[in-house]
Amino acid sequence: MILENISSNKVCEGWHKQYTHNSKVLNCEMRFAIFLPPQASANNPVPVLYWLSGLTCSDENFMQKAGAQKMAAKLGVAIVAPDTSPRGEDVADDINKAYDLGLGAGFYINATQAPWNKHYQMYDYIVHELPALIETNFPVTTQRAISGHSMGGHGALTIGLRNPELYQSISAFSPICNPINCPWGEKAFSAYLGTDSEDWKIYDSCELLAKTTSHQPILIDQGSNDSFLQTQLKPENLMAIANKKNSLLTLNMREGYDHSYYFISSFIDSHLEFHAAHLGLTQQS
């Protein structure tokens, strides 16, 4: 698969680069960003943290606003930030151009319903196609961690829980924890997956955590002043299941913080350190 490098910036002694490629899974051109820390070389490949962004975002939001590069460079972790949905003139979008369906709102699932199923196969892209591309073309190992924000936090939780053999650790900021029981999830899932809510459960972290037999470490940070907390995110539902199962889930409620990248940038270092410990780069505290 041919990669085209469209930008390159040195940062924290490493490199932030953007690439485009033609995705066979999504049937369109896709863009992703990668931060390669200074330790990364052919003789010293590094593990990868996959970051999944939220509604309306692209690869640029996290890389430009989170301030993650300094800690990632210190720890020796690469970061890969894909787009949040397929893009292009022939890619289906919401007829009303709503922000929570269609372009920028892929929800990291494999759509089964027309017209979405032609392009919206984000689950397979994130789990299979993109990592294969990264591991073939960059000095990285097969060790993976996954994180994300809001819709991307939902993606990180569900992808991580469904693939414990692929991801050493999972984290999220302000994730949509129970999408089958919130307006964002109900709208997107009914469009992408059909009206049978039983088909939605494989993309719901509450349902997945209740059934999993693995014990992956999970870290969640949630702001108390998040305007979406009660109606859309519902972390208490996930925490109740985690407590029943004695899961390795830590939920930090952060007083006064909202849903923005101000919040993410305040605590991203602790998430990187969490992943580095479980990737074997540092001692666990």
Known catalytic residues are 150, 226, 259
Q: For 59-81, b where at least 16 C-beta lie within 10 A, e where not — what string?
A: bebbbeebbbbebbbbbbbbbbb
On the 0-12 / 13-18 / 19+ scale of CB atoms within 10 A, 201 is middle
| Cα first-last separation, the chain | 41
d(CA 83, CA 126): 10
Q: Are the C-beta atoms of 94 and 120 separated by less than 8 Å?
A: no
Structure tokens at 236: 């208490």
Q: For 190-200, b where at least 16 C-beta lie within 10 A, e where not — what string?
A: bbbbeeeeebb
